[in-house]
Amino acid sequence: MSKLLTMRAAIAELVQDGANVALGLQLEQMIPFAAGHEIIRQKKRDLTLIGPISDILFDQLIGAGCAKEIVAAWVGNVMMGSAYNFRRAVEQDGMKVFTLTNFTVALALQAGAMGVPFLPTRTALGSDITRGNHFFHHILSPFEAKEPLWAVRALNPDVTIVHVQRADREGNAHCWGNFGVMVEGVRAGKRVIVVAEQIVEPEVITSDPNRTVIPGFLVNAVVECPYGAHPSPVQGYYKRDDAAFRQYHEHTKTKADSDAWLERWVNGVEDRRAYMNQLGGCRVEELGVKRHAYAAQTDYGY
């Protein structure tokens, strides 16, 4: 059964006001910016944003007023440093942030994926991150005497949104590059939106099952959206648009500047196609693959 939807329909149907939304799970790669921008255009409100690090997408959602609270290890602009909407929201508006670490975000999602209430870890013993933080509970190992550990509470996002290179119409998806916590996030998600650069026939997926990171039965919607991760990179499709991250940093230092940026790049464009047109053909061409690098053939024969 085809689950192909437009981005507009997928976000309208699957992201409700007040939802816990996990996105940006592959860290700096394949960040679902097009989906995030559609969330902004549809004026979704009171979202809890979940991710390990967020390289400016959370900042945009916060600036647009979509977020109520954040569950993350790091929110900023990776090459430039701080992200200003996040800072304004926390420093001036008292937005709630549940601070985790990268590893404990992975553990929380993995616990959710496994259907257990928590997973134990030795990280963050002695760190203030755990203080007054309901994601952490001090426990003793049941198997060794006096072995303290942190139990990290399971996270099951209402919606997990990921970007991949290719998927079939049912949501079986191939991805290559770094995964971060995407596989855990998809398994933990109550609903899943897969955004793909390309929709392919099922035979393409089953020709290389080791590259399948998402089985379609976990997926609620598949969206075909070329350049949907810009300005983050998609291996084999386009590189990182470093200038865009620099410009975002420069153009969002004040609330008024940030509003203008959102008007120009999000609310002022209808969809990703219009966004790419605004970016301009030269820039898009410049970001494209200049030298292909194909992997060695893989023989699944027997």
Partner 1 sequence: MTTTPAVDISKKTPPTSESRGYTLGELMVASAAREIHDGEIAFVGMRLPLLAFVVAKKTHAPNAVGLFENGVIRATPASELIYTMADPANILGATQCLDMMGVMSLLQSGRVHLGFLGAAEVDRFGNLNSTEVRGPKGVVRLPGSGGACDIASLAQRFVVLLEHRKQRLPERVSYITSPGNGDGRGWRKRVRLPRGGPSAVITTKAVLRFADDGEAYLASLHPGVELDDVLADTGWRLRVGDSMVSTAEPTAAELKAIRDYDKDGFWTK
Counting other chains too, the contacts that 7-11 makes at CB distance below 8 Å and 24 or more residues apart are 7/34, 7/35, 7/38, 7/195, 7/223, 7/225, 7/228, 7/271, 7/272, 8/38, 8/42, 8/271, 9/221, 10/35, 10/38, 10/193, 10/221, 10/223, 11/35, 11/38, 11/39, 11/42, 11/44, 11/193
| Residue 88 near residue 255, CB atoms below 8 Å | yes
**Is residue 38 part of the contact set for partner 1 (CB under 8 A)?**
no
By beta-carbon proximity to partner 1, the closer residue of 122 and 264 is: 122
Dig out the tokens for 95 from the structure.
């937005």
Stretch of 15-23, 102-110, 249-257, 271-279 lying at the interface with partner 1 (CB under 8 A) = 102-110
- Cα 3 to Cα 187: distance, rounded to the nearest angstrom: 18
List 6, 16, 42, 121, residue binding partner 1 (CB under 8 A): 121
Half-sphere exposure of 41 (CA within 13 A, CB side): 21
List 62, 72, 155, 219, residue binding partner 1 (CB under 8 A): 72
Chain residues 6-35 in contact with partner 1, contact rule CB under 8 A: 26-29
Chain residues 207-246 in contact with partner 1, contact rule CB under 8 A: 232-233, 235, 239-240, 242, 245
Which helix (H) or strand (E) segment holds residue 12: the answer is helix 7-14
By beta-carbon proximity to partner 1, the closer residue of 1 and 295 is: 295
**Is residue 182 part of the contact set for partner 1 (CB under 8 A)?**
yes
CB of 9 to partner 1, least distance (A): 29
Stretch of 5-13, 73-81, 193-201, 249-257 lying at the interface with partner 1 (CB under 8 A) = 73-81
Q: Binding residues for partner 1, per CB under 8 A? A: 26-29, 52-53, 55, 72-76, 78-79, 81-83, 86-87, 90-91, 97, 99-104, 106-107, 110, 121-129, 147-148, 176-184, 232-233, 235, 239-240, 242, 245, 293
